[in-house]
Amino acid sequence: MDAEGAVDPRALERELQAAVAEDERRDRENAAKLRALRQRLPSYEQFRNIVLASHLKPLEKKDKMGQRRSVLWNPCAAHAKAPQASDVEIPQELDGLPGTSAEFHRDWRRCLKSRKLKYQFLLALGGEALGRIFQADLGYGLLGEFLTVLAENVCHEDRDAILQILQSLSGTKRFGLNLDLLSELEKESSRDLFRKLRSMSRGDWTAGHPSSTAGCEAEQEGSLMDASLQKETEEERRVLELMKCYQIN
């Protein structure tokens, strides 16, 4: 509005366009997450890359060059088509990611029949979405199921995503009560999960980075190692803080 209280139609139009663009981005990324789930990708990094590239459109026939090329533009998709040892299949009735706790409960109980599939489902949603869905209440029994599923399937590539999920869940209401209601088996799963997270150290930085006796290269390598150690220390501190939240001794 201006000084006289009149509405600026151009400002309103810009706000409307921004809101529409945000809705389109959210819908596009949710659709990409579901496609990535169906492809049964072996790591969270590949899943994340597909979501980040969700705004890209495939080339049409008229856009293709006359020269034949043997290089695939999407190696992740090609890798996903290779035979997999996993028997995970995304059920057809799961036609979108949930936006509410009621939708989550429906999909979690009715559509997701294996723990591996539930694990991929949690990663697809991510910590931010889970924290938003369960902001009011996580629901009895779910925390224990989440910890069990994560403990059984955690891998190094998914470490950051799992830490984010744990961080978001710890901020939900009545988290302490849900923690107290964990069964002994679920508490053991929680301890097992954090043991695995701590063992997945980033300290293997030197693997694949041979040392050099040259002065300049040695100095650069030393700086990179210092940065790597600092990052590892910060991540270790983050894990320790989460262990306190989850009452892991």
> Looking at per-residue confidence, does 129 or 234 come out higher?
129
Please report the pLDDT score of residue 138 as a whole number: 87
> Looking at per-residue confidence, does 27 or 238 come out higher?
238
Check whether residue 121 and residue 48 sit in a common domain: no
Check whether residue 18 and residue 138 sit in a common domain: no
Check whether residue 12 and residue 128 sit in a common domain: no
> Looking at per-residue confidence, does 48 or 162 come out higher?
162
Please report the pLDDT score of residue 67 as a whole number: 47
- Mean model confidence pLDDT for the chain: 75
Check whether residue 121 and residue 241 sit in a common domain: yes
Q: Is there a domain that residue 156 lies in?
A: yes
Q: Is residue 17's pLDDT more than 80?
A: no
Check whether residue 134 and residue 249 sit in a common domain: yes
Check whether residue 138 and residue 238 sit in a common domain: yes
Q: Is residue 248's pLDDT more than 60?
A: yes
Q: Is there a domain that residue 4 lies in?
A: yes
Structure tokens at 137: 């209440």
Please report the pLDDT score of residue 46 as a whole number: 62
Please report the pLDDT score of residue 57 as a whole number: 56
Check whether residue 130 and residue 241 sit in a common domain: yes
Q: Is residue 185's pLDDT more than 80?
A: yes
Q: Is there a domain that residue 146 lies in?
A: yes
Q: Is there a domain that residue 96 lies in?
A: no
- For range 22-28, the mean pLDDT: 72
Cα 197 to Cα 159: distance, rounded to the nearest angstrom: 7
Please report the pLDDT score of residue 201 as a whole number: 64
Per residue in 54-98, pLDDT tens?
Answer: 655 554 555 444 444 444 444 444 444 433 333 445 555 566 788
> Any idea how long the chain is?
249
Question: What is the domain extent for residue 193?
Answer: 115-249
Q: Is there a domain that residue 139 lies in?
A: yes
Check whether residue 223 and residue 139 sit in a common domain: yes
